[in-house]
Amino acid sequence: MKEQLYALRTDAAVRIAQAGDTTQLEAVRVALLGKKGELTAILKQMGKLSAEERPVIGQLANEARGELEGLLAARAAALGAEETARRLAAETLDVTMPGSRKRLGHKHPLTVVLDEVKEIFLGMGFSVATGPEVEWDYYNFEALNLPQGHPARDTQDTFYITETMLLRTQTSPVQVRVMEQQKPPIRIIAPGRVYRSDAVDATHSPLFHQIEGLVVDEGITMADLKGSLDQLAKRLFGEETRTRFRPHHFPFTEPSCEVDISCFRCGGAGCPMCKGEGWIEILGAGMVHPKVLAGCGIDPERYSGFAFGVGLERLTMFRFQIDDMRLLFENDMRFLGQF
């Protein structure tokens, strides 16, 4: 039995050293020291021993158990440390690796300028109104003093849904809808899409955007119109911008005007941007025609108002010096990414 115990100690030391991980080591432990293990199997033979031999072997067996337990514990500690080191190495986060870039979008240039215009007018006490893009002939033309057969209709040919229903050619019908619903004082802007039967080129699109403005109250004069639009021009294009009001004709305003701004490129001296004029036309405006007011149930003897309509694409092109309107609709990221 002495020999068996020595053999077990030598053999066990090798097997413990060879256990490659904690699971294998546990299997070795059970095989050596478990209830059905090799040491137990040897001890079961103790009964055959003489009374003198028994304590000696007992002593040796205890030494063997103590030694094996020591080896197992040491190997367990070593394997545990190795496994921790391996896991830490595998989970290392290399903060110097290039990250995956999240591309953040931004507003379309038309929205950038629309938001600026809204901001300017909200600051002057206006609110934002909307109307339908599929509109009645009545609101788009008739109520704006453009009866059937009026020659000015020709310049705004559009897409008809029926004889009396069409895609609106301007945001001006929103004026009528608002005046039918609200009593003065009225102060609104109405941005939105409009449609015309125009071929696409650098300055035309069958779909574009306008921003309508309308103020109706007692005592509103052309001075209010001029002051408000002068503010718009200065806030959008810079404090040094000057405005010029030229007589014009629109059926729904009287008097009517077109508004020019001093060229933001040359300051008015004349350059290719303003085609040598020094001025750039930006919008149409006027004092709301008494017939239009009366048609909406507003007494033109008591109230007066001004209105304007401005093309958002045009404003945006001037604002960012874009020379072709098509760029605003093509959604080419190389273009849009510049704003």
If one asks whether residue 172 binds ligand DAH (CB under 6 A), the answer comes out as yes
Q: Minimum distance between the CB of residue 192 and ligand DAH, rounded to whole angstroms?
A: 12
Q: CA 251, CA 137: separation in Å to the nearest integer?
A: 15
Contact status: 170 vs ligand DAH (CB under 6 A): yes
How far apart are CB 287 and ligand DAH at their closest, in Å? 8
Q: Applying CB under 6 A, what is the total number of residues that bind ligand DAH?
A: 11
Report how far residue 115's alpha carbon sits from residue 106's, in angstroms, rounded to the nearest whole number: 13
Site string for ligand DAH, 240-279 (x = CB under 6 A): ----------x--x--------------------------
Between 72 and 215, CB nearer to ligand DAH: 215
Q: Least distance to ligand DAH from the beta carbon of 210, Å?
A: 6
> Is residue 286 a contact point for ligand DAH (CB under 6 A)?
yes
Contact call for residues 257 and 285 (beta carbons, < 8 A): yes
Angle at 35 between CA 34 and CA 40, to 5 degrees: 90
Rounded CA separation 36/30 (Å): 8
CB of residue 105 vs ligand DAH: minimum separation in angstroms?
A: 31
Is 113 among the residues that bind ligand DAH (CB under 6 A)? Answer: no
> Cα(307)–Cα(290) distance, rounded to whole angstroms?
12
User: Does 173 interact with ligand DAH (rule: CB under 6 A)?
Assistant: no
Q: Does 312 bind ligand DAH (CB under 6 A)?
A: no
| Minimum CB–partner distance for residue 309 and ligand DAH (Å) | 3
DSSP output for 72-130: HHHHHHHHHHHHHHHHHHHT---TTSPPPPPPP----HHHHHHHHHHHHHHHTT-EE--
Nearer to ligand DAH, 192 or 286 (CB): 286
Is 313 among the residues that bind ligand DAH (CB under 6 A)? no
CB nearer to ligand DAH: pick between 170 and 205: 170
Q: Does 307 bind ligand DAH (CB under 6 A)?
A: yes
C-alpha closest to that of 230 among 209, 245, 220, 218: 245
Nearer to ligand DAH, 205 or 253 (CB): 253
Return the residue of 141, 208, 308, 318 that touches ligand DAH, per CB under 6 A.
308
Containing 58, the helix (H) or strand (E) segment is: helix 53-90
d(CA 241, CA 262) in angstroms, rounded, equals 6
Closer by beta carbon to ligand DAH, 5 or else 307: 307
Distance CA 245, CA 128 (A): 25
Nearer to ligand DAH, 303 or 308 (CB): 308
Residue nearest to ligand DAH according to CB distances in the complex: 309
Structure tokens at 206: 């069958």
The number of angstroms, rounded, from the C-alpha of 224 to the middle of its chain's C-alpha atoms is 37
Q: Which stretch binds ligand DAH (CB under 6 A): 117-125, 133-141, 229-237, 306-314?
A: 306-314
Contact 209, 192 (CB under 8 A): yes
The CB-of-98 to ligand DAH minimum distance in angstroms stands at 52
304 binds ligand DAH (CB under 6 A): no
For residues 289 and 249, the answer to whether their CB atoms sit within 8 Å is no
How far is Cα 257 from Cα 283, in angstroms, rounded to an integer?
A: 9
Select the residue interacting with ligand DAH from 109, 295, 305, 309 (CB under 6 A): 309
Query: Among 311, 324, 329, which Cα is nearest to 203's?
Result: 324
Binding site for ligand DAH (CB under 6 A): 170, 172, 212, 250, 253, 284-286, 307-309
